[in-house]
Structure formats: structure tokens, C-alpha cells
Structure 1
Amino acid sequence: MTTLICDCNRTMPLAVDELGRALGEPLAPHSLLCRSQAGDFQQAIRGTDPVIVACTQETRLFGELARTTEGAIAPVRFVNIRETGGWSRDASQAMPKLAALLAAAHLPDPDPVATVTYRSAGRLLIIGPLDRAEQAAALLDDVLEITLFAHGQHHAGGSQVRQYPVLAGKLDHLDGRLGAFELSWTQSNPIDLDLCTRCNACVAACPEGAIGLDYQVDLDRCSSHRSCTASCTVAGAIDFQRPPRQLIETFDLVLDLGTTPQFRRHAPPQGYFTWPDGAPSTLLTLRGMVGEFEKPKFFEYKQSLCTHSRNETVGCRACVDVCSAEAIRSDKHRQQIVVDPHLCVGCGACTTVCPSGAISYAYPRNPDQGLKLRTLLGTYAQAGGRDATLLLHSQQGGQQLVEALGRAAQLKQAQGVPANVIPVPLWHTAGVGADLWLSAVAFGATQVVVLLTDEEAPQYKEALRAQMDIAQSILNGLGYRGQHLHLLYATTPDALDAALKTVASQRPQGPGQPARFAVAPEKRATLSLALDHLIALAPGPLPDAIDLPAGEPGSGAPFGAVAVNADTCTLCMSCVSACPANALQDNPQLPQLRFIEKNCVQCGLCEKTCPEDAIALVPRLLLSERRKETVVLNEAQPFHCVRCNKPFGTQKGVEAMLHRLGGHAMFQGAGLERLKMCGDCRVIDLYSSSDEARITDL
């Protein structure tokens, strides 16, 4: 692998030898790699080894050089070391961070993930006032097949010349996504736009002015003169007796010009556009959306781990509630959630709040993300860095803000990204949760900062805050002093600069030795690895358990116990059949309710299923080995069959049954006595009684 670094016209103090030692390869300094020294780049890409270019500003230029250089076959990657550290007031102390960023760029690309395909034939629906809709259509009709839905500003007029199909009526519902939108509407207006010739005779004839140039009757203003009907006898487009019709039509794309968007979710579906600012970029994007498109399938779902539903009882619905794209829905009949990959935008918030790891992030997968964090922190420490802070930010708004801060620092208007703060771009900040935050602390990060801008949905902030409170409670409960996890909100370089100064000045306590474990694909396994390391190196004596913040079942702490009221529990084992995590278990040999705390995800299904209301959740992290052991929560004496003396059920359970059914007409005398028998003896006794009755009758 070849690494090309550049001090950008000597605006960055790069210690080339120090960086080379940290990476284990010699580095040649450059000052104008994108200009007079571009030949060095061209020479490097003629080989087969990957080339790392420590510059992102000239990505397009280097791409053009790669395409036009003869024999250029080497893959090229880019990494930003300028705005992230080279342009900063303490840039001279940032070599460990720059080495870490370069080392992470040397990692192999993650394995490709499955993709989701969209197909669009260019059928565009434009919703809005007819005049505005026709204006937008005129800019798109050379590449798209356009249909208009006149909606809003009832008397707004369109062109006299019919250029596009026009639909009108009451818009009932719009649903779907790119390539598969479905519009349903009710056509109830007296004027049929398919028959209307736009001769304007009805407009001139109406004495109330109830018909505008959208050629629809405003029924609130109409006084039933029916002059319009008389003027339209030839075309027959007006009929006040026509019954309303429910209509459905499909489209590939939607441009919504209405004052109230039809999709009001934070993340609208692919292929749906609004145009509030009239920006040309929206129309340019629409023009290019004909053909076949792919995007990553951002998630993986394992139904066997899902704690959403059992026995038609809903427990955890954290992923359904947090999804800003409404891509996740509950399917009680199938006892699971259903995720529409076409609607999913890849925020990963569902994976962060999922307590069991049933839904996991795949772009990139946890092991790849964990390897990157471990490489960043390991290289930083080996290069002499101290008090590492990870700054997790999005590749969109967060990246722009970090780069703007770097430029401000170069102009002496800000301090810039501190030397001990390592920016880590993510597809979305909500896609990394407590398992990777705690792993990062175990790997040597003293702090993990999640940067939020205006692009995140409000529910993401709430979910991240709740998860962060839980993770921080664990760290403090283990005796690690200080605040390790921060949720930082900023929209300007000045706000980000001030916040990073405060964070960088803090020195919370971490484990004395960094962990080397590999992050597992499963969330619970990763949490277990991180906790084992943090517990093993925790300072001072440990408590028996750490109390964790309580929340709604399935959206609170992912660890805990269940408290069973032995006085009301009848050991019916309904909770065992409902538990998806195998935390609650029965004993085939004895009437016992057993529990393994390590498996419990606090989904609440046991609590909601229990017919006696005998179960309560106890959010906590048990630190002793009992967390992994089977313990007995409740047990009872078995009830013995009054006929054969075989044990079945429990004393308390049978007594409760006798109490509840004793007054029923079907369970009087012998019927009540049979309830005290095992299943086999009940059948024998029932048939014996029937035979005796027949003999008596004879």
C-alpha cells in the first residue's frame, strides 16, 4: 500500500517521519500533490497496490487523473487529514490522530452487502395548484411521463391547451415508494375532466362564479342554477347526479407542490419530492430518475431473536416507534416486525434501540465498524496519543460542519478540531449504539461524542439520549469517574468549536489497559465482551449490581432481572412460553420457575403475559457470576393425582383452579373431583362413569 500525504502548500505542520513510523512505511512529503507534484500520484497508481491519498478536496481531480493515466489500475482511497486536524491551532500535537486516520484508511474494504432494487419508467405525478403543476411539468416533460393532480387553490387556472392528463377530486391516500407509488382519490365533482373540452362555456354561464379555470365546480358557492349543465349539452361533461367514484392509479415518482406535504414523516420515501424553494436541483434529480437503481440493504433481521411479540401479546416495539421512515410495522399475526427495505433509509436507529440484537446494522456490519474503532484507537495510542476522544458524525451534515470548522481554524477564526479528538464519519449517527460506545471505551477511548445536527429526526435524539444514559450509568457504576459519553448538538462551526473545547478538556477515567477483542456480529455478544473487560479492570470494589434507568419495556435498559411475587404466582409457566430470550425456564422434573439473568433483555413480554400480574421488571446489571447462572425464582409443592398419586401441576395452581371453577355448573360433584386428577385418570374416570350409567339404564 502506498500513502501520499501533502501539507497543502505548507499550511499544515506534518511530521512526516513520525507518521511513517506509526504506519510502518516510509512517507514522502508533498506540498502541491494536486498541482505540480501530480506526477507522483500518477506514478503510484500505475502499480497494483492500493493508494491512499490524504486529501479529499481534490477527489474529483484525482479521479480524472486516474481515468486518463495510462496503465493506472491501482485502487485509490481518500482520507481527510486537513480539516480534521492539520488545520487546527494545536495541529503540531495532532500527529497521533493523523496517524490513526491514515491507519484506518489502510483497512480493507468491508464485504459488500445485499442491495435493494428500484425500477422507474419515469411516470411522474405532480400534485398541486394546476398553474404551478403545469409550470413544473414543462421543465420535465421531455424525459418524464407526467400526470397532474389538481389540488389546492381551487380556482387556480392552468393552460388553455391540454398538455397533460389532469386528475382532480378528493385525495384520499398516497402511499408507496420509488417505482411503486399508489394514489387513491374520490372523483365527486360534477365536471368530468376527461370529457371537458375547456371551451369555457360553463365558466361564462355560471352566475355565482363557482367554476374556475381548473374546470371544477366549487360546490360551496354553487346555488344549483345548473346553467353550466345547459351550456355543456354537447360535450356532456357536467352531471350533478353522477355518483362519486373511488379511483386508484400508480406512479413511479411524485412531485408534491401542495402547502401540506402528503408524506409528513421525517424521512419520506425514495422518489417523493417537495419543491418549497423552487431549487433547480430538485428538478435535475427528478430528470435523472428513470431506469434501475440500487441501494444497500442496511439491516439484517433475525426473527428468532425478536422480542416484539409472543402469543399475540406485544412486548418490545422500540424499533417501530423510532423509525422515522415508517419502514417498520408490527405484524401480530406473524408474531414479528416487518421491515420494508425499500422504505428504509439506513439511519440504523432501530438497531441502536433493539435490546436483543434481532435487527442489526449491515452498512457496515458491526465487526467492520469495531475493527475501525480499534485500529483508530490502537494506532493513536501507539503513536503517543493520550485521552482519545471519538467524534462520531454523519457523512452529510456532520462532515460539512467538521470541515467548516477546519477552514475557520485555518483563517484563525476558531481553534479547530482538538488534537485528541478523532472524527469518525458514519452513514448516520443513530446507527451506532451502546455496544460500540462501550467497546470504544474498552479499546481506549476516554470519551465518545455523538454529533447531532438538524438532519436527525427528533425521536433519534431521544433514543440516543436514553441509550447513552444507560451506558454512562454502567461506566459510573463500575467506578469509572467522569462523563465518558456525550450527545452534542451543533449547527454552526462556532457552536461545534466551543463544545469540542469543553469536551477535549475533560479527563474521565477509563480502563488501564485497552481491550483487544474483536467485535462480534451479534449485539449482545459484543456488549458481553465489552462489559467483561470493563468489569475486569474496574477501579475499586464492585457493587453486587448497578441500578439502571427504567423506561418502557423494550425501550429501556437491555439488562435486568424479573421479580416474581411468590404469593400470587401459580407457576402456570405462561411467562416461560412468552420469553423469546430463554431467560425464563421451567424444570421438567420439578414445579420450578428458573431464570438466567444474562439472557434477559427486559422486553416485558413476561410481565404482560402473566395472568396473575405476579411479574415486575428490575432494570439492572448484575456484576457477579450469578448473572450467568440459573437461579430459581419460584417453586411449589407438586399436586398429586387423587386417583393414581402421580404428581401433576402445583398445589397452588390446582387450588386456584378449583376455586375459580367450583361454582360452575359443569364442575359439580364428580366433575369437580376430576379436576384433582391427572390427564390420564380424568379420561379413565370419565369413561368408567359413562359405562356405569349405561348399565344402570339397562
Structure 2
Amino acid sequence: MTTRFKVCDCNHTMPLDAAAGETLGRALGTDALKPASQLCRREVGQYLDMLDSPAQAVVACTQERALFAELAEQKQAVAPIRFVNIRETGGWGAQARQAVPKMAALLAAAALPDPEPVPEVEYRSGGNVLLVGPSERVLPWARRLSAQLDVSILLTSGHGGEPLMERRFPTYSGDRIRIDGWLGAFKVQWRQANPIDLELCTRCNACIEACPENAIDLSYQINLDACRDHRDCVKACGAIGAIDFTREATQREAAFDLIFDLSDEPLIKLHQPPQGYFAPGADLLKQAEQSLQLTQMVGEFTKPKFFVYKDKLCAHSRNKKTGCTACIDICSTAAISSDGDRVKVNPNLCMGCGACTTVCPSGAMGYAYPRPADLGLRVKTMLGAYAKAGGSQPALLLHSQEQGGALIEQLGRLAGSRAAQGLPARVMPVALHHSAAAGIDVWLSAIAWGASNVLILSTGDEAPQYLEALEAQIDLAQTILSALGYEGKHLLLLRAQDALELDVELRRAQPAAVPSQPGTFNIAAEKRNTLDFVFDHLLRHAPTPSAEIPLPAHAPFGAVTVNTSACTLCMSCVGACPEKALLDNPDRPQLRFIEKNCVQCGLCATTCPENAITLTPRLLLDARAKERVVLNETQPFHCIRCNKPFGTLQMVENMLGKLAGHGAFAGHLDRIKMCGDCRVIDMMQGGREASILDLKR
């Protein structure tokens, strides 16, 4: 699709002149761009003229996005319009005059076609909300929200609290509360702990008048510390039956669309709770903010299905033996769980952080928003346009769309007022749904394409395990690069919670060495295939090529070592291996290994009955990685009847040694030396001979 670009120097606050326009045009493969100065005011005609063309329009201004969109609607423009920010990300800052290559990269990325849509996850909420917590917090909010939502309340404490005279909404009390589910589908379970069931209670006050200890007040809950168990209240309640000290069926449950948790501590303690669950606690400001969000969550909603799961590649488990649990361990929403030999992902709970795909060693868990190939195309396009515009030593700043994007914009505005230096000219921001959504395959691809640094921005909102995983992945990637002689620190995790911290953190990154020629490959759908392309390119251009690289513990690449004196070649490991790294040989007793396929999940070692297998993390980059290496072999044992080879000599000898003294086998040891067919024949013949002897008797 043909694309037309329009840039503006924002009233001469950005160094965009005719020379910059020529550079941008050359990098973008179009005519020289003529920067405007007041595109949103007196030069708006240039924008309107651009809309006359059916070609796609890219406008380098997000400040006036709403105005430009409205004008396009009024003009009934048919061309798609995209907006990109070059002001806060490059045009304002201490290095703004060197930022033209970065602007070219951002414009080129904005002109890319939209990725193919991904499946969506649907939610339906009718506004049935449960308020949980002490009565003094719950009741005021219940009255406020009842005008807009269908309110129910679950009181965790009530004696001495607000009166419960009105039966305006379903009211429960209890403890041991458990909440499962998501927006539109919450299931709440609790224990009816107090003798008074508030749903049955009619607020007649008979129990209050009857109680000699004044253990009951207008909260209609019995203070069990004051109660002396006279049971006068039970008699006063009579046939209503709301009071029961001997209640056996105490478990209660109900379904709700939304949860407003006003407890001191959240009942759902996940780092990222499910959508539709709000837990402001005692904070009045948060209560007000989240109550407003609560009222807006009525209706039908959708979100992308962020992941793709390929169970054939999964190394989680085999035959009830557990191998890799990386995705389960890292998920901050409890969306991933074990499901036998595979894992199960609940799309309603998944929030799209992508950390599971980053730590998955095999690529069984893949990110879909965007797909790896789409993200790779964006990164490769940016680096290519940056180079065409004359830029050098480019760096990528991977950041979350919301928190990270807001921080970068704040930094740019501070730079515009000279209160900060702003983004360096060589640092190009790349927005992701979450900063943990890209991993070693994307990072190393970027290095192979010429990026001297890949920076990952943490704003402090990430789950702690995400940062640990990113650090581990960075260590792994840097180990490989350093072993191949690429000097410098290529990958950095930047931690910043405000714009000024980010300004300081960005100065830590120093350009590192890259291949002498940028790679031409594209990111593949399969993670391991992409890494094959990456390693091949990095090795080919390595300053100090190394065919074997020792790796840190728990790396997803490595060798398998077999203790041949212990191994009986039972082939249990072959059956357990999910990646076909371990193979048997149908022609002879032989255990073979293809290192390229191994993800170091450990299922082989866990399954081995002789504990004969150990793992060695390393990266093998030469032809040996694809060869079928024999780890153990032995002479086959030949059937004593038909001479057909079956099993191994060592295995049969071990069985004979263990069963020789067993009464059930002592008279039939020869059958152990037979193949399966001959064993059946021998048993049948033995049974027939016994029958003939019985007849003769």
C-alpha cells in the first residue's frame, strides 16, 4: 500500500528542516518530506489535501490526534490514518538534532499494515456485584452503588457496626471466603459462621429484646464472646428459624458478575487479579476510583486471546512425571495450571503479560498479540529505516504500552522544557502489551539485525517473578554473545518509576558490538527455528567463533549424559522425551541423542529408573548439534528358541539375577530368555503337556 507522510516541527520546537525532510524521504522510499510548522492550525490545509488521496496517511503527531481524526471524519476520508509520536520520543531532547534516523524508523513502523486479527475472549456482566468486608465500609458503598448495580453484601464483621434495619439487598455474613472466576463468572464460597443467618433474619428485634447479655445489636450478629448460650434468642426467633447454634450445613456459595472487596487484605492475593475484581481495602481514594470503574463494567466485553499453545511441543509432563513448569511458576494471574501431561491456560484469566512465552524452552507457549513474526517485522523495519537514514549504533527500548508509554511521554515533555535530557537519539521505543512479552528470540534477532542494545523497561508494576525471569533470560543471551566475542553489554533491564529515573537509567546503556553484516532472516512462528537462524548468523560473523558455549544452570539448551554402567537401555527416557531429542534404534539396542532438539526439561532424568541420566547446559553451534549421537549401546540378547534378537544382554542378565530366587519364576527362568512369541508358545505347550499327563493318570 502506498503511504503518504506528514511531519510537523511543532511550531519550530523540533529541528526539522529541508535536509531532515530529504533524509526522511530517502529512508522511507518516498519523495522528500516537507515539514510543516503548524499543521494543526494555519497549515491544516496540507493535512486536508493529503486526505484527498486514497493512499494510507501517516501523521507524525499524537498531540492533536483527536482534531485530525475529527477533520477526517468530516471530510469522509476513505484512506486509513495512522498517528505516530516523534516529538516526545525524539524531537524534544538534548540530542534532538541527531534524532532524524530514529524519526524515520518510527514513521516506517507506523506505515506497516495491521497484523492479522487474533481470536477474542468474551465477557458478559449483568452488574450483579458482591461487596465484601466489614459493615462500616460495605454498607455505605452498598447504598451508593445500588442505584446503578445489582448489589449483594457479604459481611466479614458486623457486631457494633451500622444498623441493618432495611432489607434493600441480599445480605450474608461469614468467613473462610474463597473467590474464583472472572468478570461475569465469579463463584464465591464462604462459611456461615454466626448463628444468625442474615438472609433469613426479618429484623424484628425479638432476639435483641430476649438476649440477657446484650450480645445482639442492630447488626443482627451475635457477639459470641459475650454470649452465654442461654438460647433465649432462638426461642424468640421461633418459626422464622434465622438463629441456629447447632447448624451443620454451614457452607454457602453464590455467583456474581463483579466483586468489590473492601477487606483489609485482598481475598485474592494474586499480583494481577482477574478482571471484574476490585480490592481498594480501606483506602478512600482507591474506593472512589474503583467504584467508578465498577459501574462501567456492565455489558459485553472482549479482549484478545493473547497466547497460542501447541501441546505437541510441551515439555511439562509425561506419564505423570513432571518436567518443565516454567509457565505455571511464572504466571501472575493463576491462568496456567497442570492438566495431566500438558498444561491448561484459562483465557479469561490471562492478562497477556507474555512471560510464559518468554520462559517456555520449547516454544509450546507462543505469544499472539502481536505474533512473533509481526513484532519481528516491526523491529526489523525500524532498524532498516534507521540505517538508511544514516543512523548508527541503534538501541531498542522495549516498554509496556500503558505504564511504559506514559513514562516515555512524560520524559519527552520534561526534555521539551529542558528539565531532562530525554531519550537519546539512538534509542527507539518499541511498545509492547507488556514488557515481559518479548524474550531471547526477539532480543537476539534484533542484535543480529544490527541493534547494539536491547533495553527492557520495568516501571515497578510487574510481578517480581517476571523481573527475575527477564534477568535470567538476559544473563543467558549475554553469555552467548560474550562467548562469541561480541564485546559490551547488549541487554539491560532498566528500572524506573518516574521520568527522571528513566532519564538516568537510559545513560547506563553503552553501544555494544554487533555482527559486521545485519541478518536477513525473519522471525519464524516457532521459537526454536528463529533461534537457529539467529545462532547461525551470530556464529558466522562472530569476532571469536566458538562451537561450544557453557551456559548457566536451567538454560534451555544442552546435552544429556548417560551412565552406561547403570543404564539398561529400557528406553523409558525415549518414551518420556517430548522433543524427540532421545531416540532408540529399531535395528539394535541403542540409545541415541540429537542435541539440537533438547530443551533440558529433565523428563528423561526424572523418568529413568536407574538414575543414569544427567543434564549439561551448553550451546552446541556446529554440525554435532544435529547429529544422532549414540549415548549407550550393547549386544542384543538372542531368543534361546528362535535366535531372534530381543532386549539387551544386560537387561536379561539383571532380570535373571533378580528373579532366580523367586518361587514363582524358579522353574521357568528359561522363558525369560525367550522372545515374546516363543514365550507364549512355550506356555501353551507346557499347559498341553500337563493336560495329557492328567488324562493318563
TM-score by length of 2: 0.95
| Deviation for aligned residue 1:151 | 1.6
Report matched runs for 1:135-154 at 5 Å: 135-152=140-157, 154=159
| Deviation for aligned residue 1:130 | 2.3
Taking the aligned partners of 1:507 and 1:54, their CA distance within structure 2 comes to: 28
1:258 alignment counterpart: 263
Specify whether residues 219 and 591 from structure 1 end up closer, same or farther in structure 2 by C-alpha distance, changes over 3 A only: same
Q: Does 1:308 align with 2:311?
A: no
2:335 alignment counterpart: 327
Stretch deviating more after TM superposition (34-43 or 365-374): 34-43
Task: State the SS of the aligned residue for 1:580.
Answer: coil
**C-alpha contact (below 8 Å) 2:536/2:621 kept by paired residues:** no
| Deviation for aligned residue 1:186 | 2.2
| Deviation for aligned residue 1:207 | 4.1
**C-alpha contact (below 8 Å) 1:157/1:212 kept by paired residues:** no
Task: State the SS of the aligned residue for 2:215.
Answer: coil
**C-alpha contact (below 8 Å) 2:172/2:197 kept by paired residues:** no
Task: State the SS of the aligned residue for 1:532.
Answer: helix
Taking the aligned partners of 1:12 and 1:645, their CA distance within structure 2 comes to: 88
2:603 alignment counterpart: 605
Deviations 1:518-570 (A, max 9, x none): 11011011111111111111113x334100001xxxxx211111001111111
Report matched runs for 1:320-469 at 5 Å: 320-332=328-340, 335-469=341-475
1:553 alignment counterpart: none
Stretch deviating more after TM superposition (298-307 or 491-500): 491-500
**C-alpha contact (below 8 Å) 2:659/2:666 kept by paired residues:** no
| Deviation for aligned residue 1:204 | 4.8
Task: State the SS of the aligned residue for 1:255.
Answer: strand
Q: Does 1:537 align with 2:544?
A: no
1:576 alignment counterpart: 574
Task: State the SS of the aligned residue for 2:332.
Answer: coil
Deviations 1:312-354 (A, max 9, x none): 111001000000000000012xx11000000000000000000
Tell me which amino acid in the other structure corresponds to 1:32. Answer: Q
Of 20, 30, 37, 2:25 maps to: 20
**Consecutive unaligned residues in structure 2, runs of 5 or more:** none
1:473 alignment counterpart: 479
Taking the aligned partners of 2:611 and 2:218, their CA distance within structure 1 comes to: 65
Report matched runs for 1:628-639 at 5 Å: 628-639=626-637
1:49 alignment counterpart: 55
Taking the aligned partners of 2:254 and 2:70, their CA distance within structure 1 comes to: 44
What is the CA RMSD across the aligned residues, in angstroms?
A: 1.7
Stretch deviating more after TM superposition (247-256 or 160-169): 160-169
| Deviation for aligned residue 1:242 | 3.6
| Deviation for aligned residue 1:423 | 0.9
Report matched runs for 1:661-680 at 5 Å: 661-669=659-667, 671-680=668-677
Of 546, 550, 573, 2:549 maps to: 546
1:659 alignment counterpart: 657
Of 494, 512, 524, 1:508 maps to: 512
Specify whether residues 210 and 30 from structure 1 end up closer, same or farther in structure 2 by C-alpha distance, changes over 3 A only: farther
Of 160, 175, 178, 2:165 maps to: 160
2:280 alignment counterpart: 275
**C-alpha contact (below 8 Å) 1:5/1:55 kept by paired residues:** yes
2:118 alignment counterpart: 113
Sequence identity percentage? 56
**C-alpha contact (below 8 Å) 1:42/1:72 kept by paired residues:** no
Tell me which amino acid in the other structure corresponds to 2:87. Answer: R
| Deviation for aligned residue 1:164 | 1.2
| Deviation for aligned residue 1:605 | 0.6
1:237 alignment counterpart: 242
**C-alpha contact (below 8 Å) 2:535/2:621 kept by paired residues:** no
Task: State the SS of the aligned residue for 1:139.
Answer: helix
| Deviation for aligned residue 1:193 | 1.7
| Deviation for aligned residue 1:221 | 2.5
**Consecutive unaligned residues in structure 1, runs of 5 or more:** 551-555
1:4 alignment counterpart: 6
Tell me which amino acid in the other structure corresponds to 2:269. Answer: R
Tell me which amino acid in the other structure corresponds to 2:434. Answer: H
Taking the aligned partners of 2:432 and 2:246, their CA distance within structure 1 comes to: 59
**C-alpha contact (below 8 Å) 2:158/2:219 kept by paired residues:** no
Q: Does 1:291 align with 2:299?
A: yes
Specify whether residues 46 and 179 from structure 1 end up closer, same or farther in structure 2 by C-alpha distance, changes over 3 A only: farther
**C-alpha contact (below 8 Å) 1:131/1:159 kept by paired residues:** no
| Deviation for aligned residue 1:225 | 2.9
Task: Give the aligned length.
Answer: 686
Taking the aligned partners of 2:167 and 2:608, their CA distance within structure 1 comes to: 66
Taking the aligned partners of 1:368 and 1:58, their CA distance within structure 2 comes to: 28
Task: State the SS of the aligned residue for 1:151.
Answer: strand
Taking the aligned partners of 1:42 and 1:234, their CA distance within structure 2 comes to: 78
Taking the aligned partners of 2:159 and 2:48, their CA distance within structure 1 comes to: 62
Specify whether residues 367 and 635 from structure 1 end up closer, same or farther in structure 2 by C-alpha distance, changes over 3 A only: same
| Deviation for aligned residue 1:63 | 2.8
Task: State the SS of the aligned residue for 1:480.
Answer: coil
2:532 alignment counterpart: 528
Stretch deviating more after TM superposition (447-456 or 196-205): 196-205
Taking the aligned partners of 1:6 and 1:82, their CA distance within structure 2 comes to: 9
Taking the aligned partners of 1:623 and 1:588, their CA distance within structure 2 comes to: 28
Stretch deviating more after TM superposition (345-354 or 280-289): 280-289
Deviations 1:612-652 (A, max 9, x none): 11111111001221111111111101111122221111111
**C-alpha contact (below 8 Å) 2:452/2:512 kept by paired residues:** yes
Specify whether residues 252 and 469 from structure 1 end up closer, same or farther in structure 2 by C-alpha distance, changes over 3 A only: same
Taking the aligned partners of 1:158 and 1:511, their CA distance within structure 2 comes to: 74
| Deviation for aligned residue 1:158 | 4.1
Task: State the SS of the aligned residue for 2:157.
Answer: coil
| Deviation for aligned residue 1:695 | 2.4
Deviations 1:335-374 (A, max 9, x none): 1100000000000000000011011000000100000110
Q: Does 1:183 align with 2:188?
A: yes
Of 682, 686, 692, 1:685 maps to: 682
Q: Does 1:29 align with 2:62?
A: no
Of 546, 556, 564, 1:558 maps to: 556
Specify whether residues 84 and 579 from structure 1 end up closer, same or farther in structure 2 by C-alpha distance, changes over 3 A only: same
Taking the aligned partners of 2:604 and 2:200, their CA distance within structure 1 comes to: 62
Taking the aligned partners of 1:272 and 1:651, their CA distance within structure 2 comes to: 63
Taking the aligned partners of 1:673 and 1:234, their CA distance within structure 2 comes to: 81
Taking the aligned partners of 1:534 and 1:53, their CA distance within structure 2 comes to: 37
Report matched runs for 1:178-257 at 5 Å: 178-233=183-238, 235-257=240-262
**C-alpha contact (below 8 Å) 1:188/1:243 kept by paired residues:** no
Taking the aligned partners of 2:158 and 2:244, their CA distance within structure 1 comes to: 23
Task: State the SS of the aligned residue for 2:494.
Answer: strand
**C-alpha contact (below 8 Å) 2:576/2:603 kept by paired residues:** yes
| Deviation for aligned residue 1:238 | 2.5
| Deviation for aligned residue 1:100 | 0.6
Task: State the SS of the aligned residue for 2:666.
Answer: coil
